[in-house]
Amino acid sequence: MYSNKIEGPRRGRSFDSMNIALEEKLLNNEINKSTFTKIEENTEKKNTPEKGRAAIIFSLKNEVGGLVKALKLFQENHVNLVHIESRKSKRRNSEFEIFVDCDSNHEQLNEIIQLLRKHVNIVDLEPPDNSCLLEEDMDNVPWFPKKIADLDKCANRVLMYGSDLDADHPGFKDNVYRKRRKYFADLAMGYRHGDPISRIEFTEEEVKTWGVVYRELNKLYPTHACREYLKNLPLLAKHCECREDNIPQLEDVSRFLRERTGFTIRPVAGYLSPRDFLAGLAFRVFHCTQYVRHSSDPLYTPEPDTCHELLGHVPLLAEPSFAQFSQEIGLASLGASDDAVQKLATCYFFTVEFGLCKQEGKLRAYGAGLLSSISELKHALSGNARIMPFDPKATSKQECIITTFQDVYFVSDSFEEAKVKMREFAKTIKRPFTVRYNPYTQSVDVLRDTPSINSVVEELRHELDIVGDALSRLNKQLGV
């Protein structure tokens, strides 16, 4: 729940292996004579020019010992070799190219290039300034969580509501309700990653309020909700006991989502900033309230409550394509500027909260704000609402309204279409790096230099090998 106010180890490249026994023998002899300096043992003096990562690709001239001579130049000029690989030449099939990843400043690089030309043909090079992100560039990047446990640092930065209510809130003058809200807020503020979510004994009044919302919304779902929602809602009843007379426990919901899409639930006390809320999505964590709206008006709430979260968001967070769409918005927000985050949050608002899609030629709702609001759900699909195609560039400039119906709703043909458009939009966000979620460690890999990108390429090659093996086995079964 967010407020729309702005408030490993490095792996080398995997090229085809090179079989030149004579060169390897000579190279091993050279290494036995003298050891190249390891990068971690480098203790340069403070007045030494600042180094960066440089990549050089060269092909060998037709002479014995060419590789040994070339590599020895790096040693003699005190250039640390981080990685060496070989590959078949893309220019001449009969030749091999050597890739060398090294630590070097401009002066050293220019000098060694001149020396190398006597023994090799330089194919390509990436100078230090282009090969890695300078640390001072990272100093200008807003802080963002790098691992899922880092959400503990931002999940409690509640901007509004929580245990405090505005004077126009339905429960402002109800001391019993205000005390109950403080109870929920305290539970959320005390939560830490890895803790089980507290199981709540809801009051009779809270269950009654939930029941009214549940019953009235379920009358509309068959004709107003998208097919993915209708498919997953019964699963919520089956696995989490989501019924008119029972409010599901967040711990059960979190376990259900983890098995479906890898999403988990984290309790939150109230509104978070767009940056903090979207950061959770990057780790497939959905910040979710546990409190129930005031009973005086079951069909209205000034802020998202557990009725909105469970009936609006959860069924679609159980849908893989929608879960991926949500996470990608979160990943795009990490380290982005305030302006970029606000644009992403606005796109989130008009898709995940108030989005429409076309199915069988008819408009259907997939936004949680619509699927948890009886009056606005009717309005959005009444034929009287203003509907426009979803275009992130235009949508991000639209005003978000939280007190009345939206002035306009945006429609996509499918989640996949919306996801592709958001991916393209995310590429326009200015960041000196990109990020990739690592599901094994529940962390984000910051891709900002050659080694970090190579690591991803290596993993992708492995995944493609698996796909290739599967296709090969399938072809054998089919007799192809």
Catalytic site residues?
308, 313, 353, 372
Three-state secondary structure string covering 376-433: HHHHHCCCCCCEEECCHHHHCCCCCCCCCCCCCEEEECCHHHHHHHHHHHHCCCCCCC
Distance CA 365, CA 155 (A): 29
User: Strand 409-412 to strand 387-389: parallel, antiparallel, or no bridges (unpaired)?
Assistant: parallel
Taking a C-beta distance cutoff of 8 angstroms, is the pair 382, 362 a contact? no
- Nearest to 102, CA basis, from 79, 124, 126: 79
Taking a C-beta distance cutoff of 8 angstroms, is the pair 410, 389 a contact? yes
Taking a C-beta distance cutoff of 8 angstroms, is the pair 155, 266 a contact? yes
Partner residues linked to 265 by β-bridges: 286
Reported residue count of the chain is 480
Q: Around 401, how many Cα atoms within 13 Å sit in the side-chain half-sphere?
A: 10
Partner residues linked to 87 by β-bridges: 97
Q: Around 170, how many Cα atoms within 13 Å sit in the side-chain half-sphere?
A: 12
Contacts with 425 (C-beta within 8 Å, 6 or more apart), sequence order = 332, 347, 392, 393, 396
- Nearest to 54, CA basis, from 108, 117, 135, 119: 108
- Where does residue 347 rank: exposed (0-12), middle (13-18), buried (19+ CB within 10 A)? buried
Grouping H, G, I as helix, E, B as strand and the rest as coil, residue 55 is: strand
CA 258 to chain centre: 16
Tell me the residue type at 435.
V
Grouping H, G, I as helix, E, B as strand and the rest as coil, residue 58 is: strand
Distance CA 112, CA 2 (A): 54
- Nearest to 188, CA basis, from 145, 158, 147, 165: 158
Distance CA 216, CA 371 (A): 11
Taking a C-beta distance cutoff of 8 angstroms, is the pair 333, 429 a contact? no
